Amino acid sequence: MKLSIVVPIYNEVENVDQLVTAITNALASVSYEYEIVAVDDGSTDGTRDKLARLVDANHRLRVIELRRNYGQTAAMSAGIEHAAGEVIVTIDGDLQNDPADIPALVAKIDEGYDLVHGWRKDRQDPWLSRRFPSLLANRLIAAVTKFPCHDLGCTLKAMRREIAADLRLYGEMHRFIPILASWHGARCTEIVTRHHPRRCGKSKYGIMRTFAVLLDLITVVYLTRYSLKPMRLFGGLGAAAAALGLACGLATLLMKLVADFDITGNPLLYGALFGIMIGLQFTLMGMTAEMNTRTHYESQERRPYAISRLRGFSRLTQPASRLANTELAA
């Protein structure tokens, strides 16, 4: 199958009929096979029953019913895991993303890109509560991660299956899919997509989500820069804290020797002790994180790299290590 369209849905009973119709109409002229994977994230408004009726009437529709509301990231992860397409497109279930943009995203994938994410350049949302916080968050994320982007919050994305398989999504990490994919070596690009005002239902987003995004940004920076070398982060922080502590200690000593200043109760003395103790703790945290990183990869037989393609290996009937063991046994 060429294409899987993953749609996380939560309490969108007024929109699911139009959504499935809009996706079907948008892809009516394509020549490749596709499926629609709707993930019901514990809806309580009748969405689940309506999807159950729709799946009987549409052979392209598949429905995943989660036991409760886990959040958009978990729903998206479940849809990606069960998708069968070579290319996976994610799209919101509220009809604000336009399904008519899907063929353009797939065409970009066919050009050689691994991931294409949408940019709601003319976004149809309230300015103060949605657009302005999003603008600030996107600029901050772009500056911190060095990943050029205008609209990481746009759910409309297309990615190759092998890229999606490398993603491990937790919390609210679906916003950072392009950054995580780029960290895995994916070739990413951004295109302008259409955006519509919400017609029915109620938005599940609010300004408080901005603070959650900022906290997730810290996690993303750690994952993309230090997850394989945590000692560089914690060791660096420990060295800085210890150096500050030693500087305070030296200043305290000079005050005593030069000015005969009583060091009892001198805040610099406590700063020296505190800095050295914090430096030692950061160093120990770095050692612990290094051990956890190795345990993570070795216990799951994972590798700290991703292979894009193998060439010439089809000429071998078995790996070299097995050949050596076979010859040794003989």
Going residue by residue through the chain (330 aa), what tens digit of pLDDT does each one get? 799 999 999 999 999 999 999 999 999 999 999 999 999 999 998 999 999 999 989 999 999 999 999 989 999 999 999 999 999 999 999 899 999 999 999 999 999 999 999 999 988 888 777 788 888 888 888 888 889 888 988 999 999 999 998 888 877 788 899 999 998 889 999 999 999 888 776 776 656 666 777 788 888 888 888 888 899 999 999 999 999 999 999 998 888 888 777 777 788 888 999 999 999 999 999 999 888 888 877 777 777 776 767 776 766 555 544 444 444 343
Handedness of CA 137, 139, 140, 145 (dihedral sign): positive
Domain layout of the chain by residue ranges: 3-225, 230-299
Measured in degrees and rounded to the nearest 5, phi and psi for residue 40 equal -85, 115
Q: What is the rounded CA–CA span in Å between residue 39 and residue 79?
A: 6
Which residue in this structure is represented by tokens 């990231």? 73
Q: What is the rounded CA–CA span in Å between residue 71 and residue 24?
A: 26
Residue 44 CB neighbours (<10 A): 11
CA–chain centroid gap for 170, Å, is 8
Q: What is the rounded CA–CA span in Å between residue 205 and residue 129?
A: 9
Name the 3-class secondary structure at 248.
helix
Residue 139's contacts (CB-CB under 8 Å, 6 or more residues apart) are none
Find the Cα–Cα–Cα–Cα dihedral 130, 164, 157, 82, rounded to 10°.
-90
Measured in degrees and rounded to the nearest 5, phi and psi for residue 223 equal -65, -40
The alpha-helical segments, DSSP class H, found in 197-266 are: 209-225, 230-259
Token pair belonging to 33: 């096979």
Q: What is the rounded CA–CA span in Å between residue 155 and residue 8?
A: 10
Which residue in this structure is represented by tokens 């050949």? 323
Q: What is the rounded CA–CA span in Å between residue 271 and residue 269?
A: 5
Report which of 30, 25, 29, 21 is spatially closest to residue 1, judged by C-alpha positions.
Answer: 30
Measured in degrees and rounded to the nearest 5, phi and psi for residue 97 equal -70, 145
> 252, 241 in Cβ contact below 8 A?
no
Token pair belonging to 165: 């398989």
Name the 3-class secondary structure at 233.
helix
The hierarchical CATH code for the domain 3-225 is 3.90.550.10
Run of H or E including 28: none
Measured in degrees and rounded to the nearest 5, phi and psi for residue 38 equal -95, 125
